[in-house]
Chains A and B, each alone.
Chain A
Amino acid sequence: MGSLWEYANPAAFARMVSKVLPLLSCAALACLAAGLVWGFFFTPDDYRQGATVKIIYLHVPAAMVAINAWLMMLAASLVWLIRRHHVSALAARAAAPVGLVMTLIGLATGAIWGQPMWGSWWEWDPRLTAFLILCLFYLGYIALWQAVEDPDTAADLTSVLCLVGSVFAILSRYAVNFWNQGLHQGASVMRVGAVTGSDTEEKVSNIFFAPLAVSMAGFVLLFLALVLLRTRTEIYRRRLRAIEARERMA
């Protein structure tokens, strides 16, 4: 077991993935099944929200993974720009669609919960808006990957876009905060903080928190498994393309 940089070698990375992937996927499945079944069927209903509270077991983990997927892409982009490891660029590429789907799950479950609770599918609340903007950033990032043919150029361009996009995503996050306060003074319905984010862990009692933690672990493991799998697929695809090019030359 050497350093992490050993896996910058695509062959070593693929070998590692082949070894780790079955374990990881089994663990992800087990955690997801345990967390969701426990959460859906073996916890009491909330005294005010009723059974709708149970969507928390999908919503919070998906939202968490969606944000951290972008952070992972940022780190991978930096590694690519600084150390030029191809596996890193491919991992960033592989994570983007997963992150996008997680963002969509977060938005959809939020809307489904919001309909009975807030009485509307969508509110221009800062958190919701920032999430929608994150979704747009994912879309642009994926579109840029697909538009550029040369893989190295595409990796470079998307990495820079990821860096710039991160800065603007954070700017937007705080800008919408400002904009919303400017528009809706004293909005009292939108206590999103009571469901997502840090004050969940403080307010939610252990009876809800334990299955939530298991479910979160499941989502993180699922994300890791999907990213590793997709990265390995990208490596194979690139190897195939190289073989094809060599055949054509011969």
Chain B
Amino acid sequence: MIALLRRDLRLAVRAGGGFGLALAFFLIVTILVPFALGPGTGRLAQVAPGILWIGALLACLLSLDRMLALDHEDGTLELLATAPLPLEGVILAKAGAHWLTTGLPLTLAAAPLGVLLNLAPGGYLWLCVSLLAGTPALSMIGAFGAALTVGMKRGGLLLSLLVLPLYVPTLIFGAEVARRGAEGLATGTPLMLLCALSLGVLAAMPFAGAAVLRINLR
């Protein structure tokens, strides 16, 4: 499982892996927001936590269909399915690699981008904490979606239609933590709910993902 994780990380970082794409997308979305909403700093500060969360979520979504599609095309996935490692482990490793190459960089990049949107000074810490707690859930749910649509024509569009409704609770709690943090309110309750959601998803989703992957590889 560790070996698989390492392999995915190496593939992602090397040429053609599309490692920086999600980050660049996040940056561009954040830059486009002031063009749409106007440069008024007060208004930007108000919407900054939500916009950053939406941007991170979309950037996460963008790289999902690469998670399993490439391995499906060259037959790696069939080999992995017959390997001694259970498919649940494969899904977990894939989601882990996706998080390390997308979720974690997004979390780190969110603070500098917060400056662009005039995020309130108290909000940076909570924005990063909420993304740190929430992006693993995004990657894990995304792994389920990727396993569901692997090998389908028009899989990318279908993937977003299937995955985005599943992202709703994570987005609500995550953005709520960031917003309350920025406004200087107590963040305990939504943060706990967000962590609970992430842990629950991490515990349960590998089984659902492996189940649909088995069906798709049948």
Contact = CB atoms under 8 A, between A and B. Distances in A.
Interface of A: 133, 136-137, 139-140, 143-144, 147-148, 153, 156-157, 160-161, 163-165, 168, 171-172, 175-176, 178-179, 182
Describe B's contact surface by its main secondary structure.
helix
A143 B158 contact: yes
A168 B216 contact: no
Interface in B120-139: none
Interface string B142-168: 001000110011110010011011101
Given A133-B165, A172-B165, A182-B176, 5 more contacts: A157-B212, A160-B211, A171-B169, A175-B193, A178-B190
Given A148-B152, A157-B216, A165 B176 contact: no
B79 interface: no
B218 A140 contact: no
Contacts of B148: 144, 157, 160-161
A133 B168 contact: yes
Nearest to B189: A178
Describe A's contact surface by its main secondary structure.
helix
A139 B161 CA distance: 8
19 contacts: A136-B165, A140-B162, A143-B162, A144-B158, A147-B149, A156-B212, A160-B215, A161-B148, A161-B212, A163-B208, A164-B166, A168-B168, A175-B169, A176-B168, A178-B172, A178-B176, A178-B190, A182-B180, A182-B190
Contacts of B218: 153
Contacts of A161: 148, 162, 212
B144 A164 contact: yes
A179 B208 CA distance: 27
